[in-house]
Structure 1
Amino acid sequence: MNPEQPDRHDQRKALYRAAKDVTYVLKLRPGLKALLDVLIDHIPNGAPRPVSPAAMQRLADKLGCEDRAIRYRIARLVRLGLVTNRCLANGRRHVQRARTGTIVHVAGIDLSPLLDTAWDWADRAADKKDAYARRARLRFQISEKRGALVRAFRGEEMPADLEALWSGLPRDIAKLGLAALEVLVDKVDRLISVTLADQKSFAGQPEECDRAYITDQGQSESCNPAMPAGKRAQEKPPRQTPRCGLEHVSLRQAVMAAPDDWRIEMERHGRSSWHILAGIAYQRARALGVSPSAWALAQNAVGTNGAAIIVMMADAKSHARGGPVRSVGGWVRRMAERAEKGTATLHRALFGLLHEEAVPC
């Protein structure tokens, strides 16, 4: 028993779904699908039947083509049994209404055949999608089994009977149908079970030529407790970042020593942190003339927080603020080089800013 037909309010939605299913099943060209959508759009509300009275010129303007192309597409849809041409004798289309405004007759392209078979097209589309998925799975299985056969006889000559069976298998399986793929899977399975039952590669056993791969590992103290103590003592400890007195500097002291515009910008973030201070220093470094190499040198010498303090102090001591530093970039590079050697006393310079005293580094 067929399902009930959708009411008039759901006709347009059902027609859109049917047009999509028909396009997928029959592989309609985009022009035919676009014409179906435009015809559905122009079905008047309240029409007794799903008839589209859209004029030929309006359809041509909507689709951006000539009238003869529209006529050809409509004839194609009629031959496919999707629509019926119910235009007047002279090809005119119109909508006739009663005095109450109710539509009593519509002349145009009737989409009732498409609506009547909407459920059938939906079933056919679902079956086609399912068949496509099954074909994809079968193609994958065949490719995997073929690869196993090739790997099993790699470096060996294939027997004559197996070579004959192998040559009889189709090479291009992309265009094979579902039934042909199922037959091909059975053939490949029988081929594997008959000729390769005793192959170790299919039994999951390693071949005799397979050997464990062992990497060369150097001796370490944990793995070799017998290592001489003198040799362990000769190993260099990891390089530590010079502190240069920055371990005595707190975040509060760094913020208090910063220029006023630095503190105002930090207040915009709502809180103070080393991360925010480093971000401000990195943004202002280029404007102050600090090259990326100088910033990288300072960051490598005393870390990101230390580099931020160096840039901040260079800005505070700059000639533009009435200080003695004429080249901020050069001062940052010089302090970074001294910090890398461990001869800088950056905390004294910062405390000098706090007490408004010019203490040399």
Structure 2
Amino acid sequence: METDDITTPFGRRAMTLGMLASQAIAKTVSPEASVDKWKLYRWLCEARPKLGISDRALSVLNALMSFYPKTELCGNEGLVVFPSNAQLSLRTHGMAETTLRRHLAALVEVGLLTRRDSPNGKRYVRRDRQGEIGEAYGFSLAPLLARAGEIETVAAEVTAERLLLQRMRERITLVRRDIAKLIETALEDGLQGEWMRYEAEYRQQVLALPRVATPEILAPILAALEALREEILKCMEQQLILRNTAGNADHTERHKQNSKPDSTSDFEPRFEPKQGGDGDIRHEALEGGQAAAGTSRTADDPTDGAIPGDRDRRRQPRPPTASEPHKPYPLGLVLQACPEIIPFGPGGAISGWRDLMTAAVVVRSMLAVSPSAYEKACEVLGPENAATVIACIFERSGHINSAGGYLRDLTRRAERGEFALGPMLMALVRANAHPVTRAG
């Protein structure tokens, strides 16, 4: 090997302690040591972030290794390669000479190469009469062979860290999906709980996720999200156990049927189905923003225009229970979804359910909803939920042609067990959190 002596760089390049250390390490290579140079190069690519080298520097190193004629780097052979800058440029896809010099200097600086400069700074080789290399000047690959074990270990650590990061991201994605769907289900089914606080904590943890993450950053966020999911599940399971203990209301409650026909003296316009239709009403999706209320739907389009979360109920209707329609949602959630109704409360504010019901009576008149339609909604949904529906309709009044007819249709669907208030509220919460800017 050409590493028997310590060499200093040619010209004005200064000798550094790092160069001296690299040459000293290269001298410790055992004559029996060997490694596949391309396997070693793959380890270098994996360990690149911790070795402090760029991808361009690695491409230069790849070109240098390609000039070594054998696949195995062996400790008992000369490991000096001596290509000219022109040859190196060709094997690095036309890299400029100044760029080559910069990356070669970086490889020497991190101790992956050592320079073996000739007296005049040129790279060349002297051969004996048999053609064997006697003396070569260029770049020595001996440090690579000497550090092969270290590079393999660092590459394994980087790979393990990358896999850990990937698994943590997958777990965070699953936990986020679980929390969002559990909160939505609880609101839709009217379960009691601090759902607004849970959603606020969830949003806080999601906003803390960085664009470029590490396992150390993601670990506490994942732990907080898993703890929140566990708390939500406990809250829901406790209520489900209580419900099961009390019995299934679907089998024990008597079916309620309204024997009073709709009044013929309504003040609001009525929905009129087209000829040949089945009389079902096409609804406006509050989160979609399209004014579809007041139009009919034919039998060939059974699910068009359904309120979010209600399509499955249309396909498989279930009879309402006596307790479900009368469970009001948290007042804070209602006001967050429908802030437009707040100024119509007593004194321009709403501090309780009584204030909301008072404001709903005022807004009902503004929307031209007849007293009979509102009374019917209070009878079926309960006074709190009826006031909530009025607030939702008022929030999207610009997209609804007939507020009274829309309320009557929602009431009829609630009687059949086909309407849930939770998805409507959540759609308005999301719409108010991300308002749509209209050009014009």
TM-score, normalisation: structure 2: 0.41
TM-score, normalisation: structure 1: 0.49
- Higher relative contact order (Cα pairs below 8 Å, separated by 6+ residues): 2
Structure label with greater radius of gyration: 1
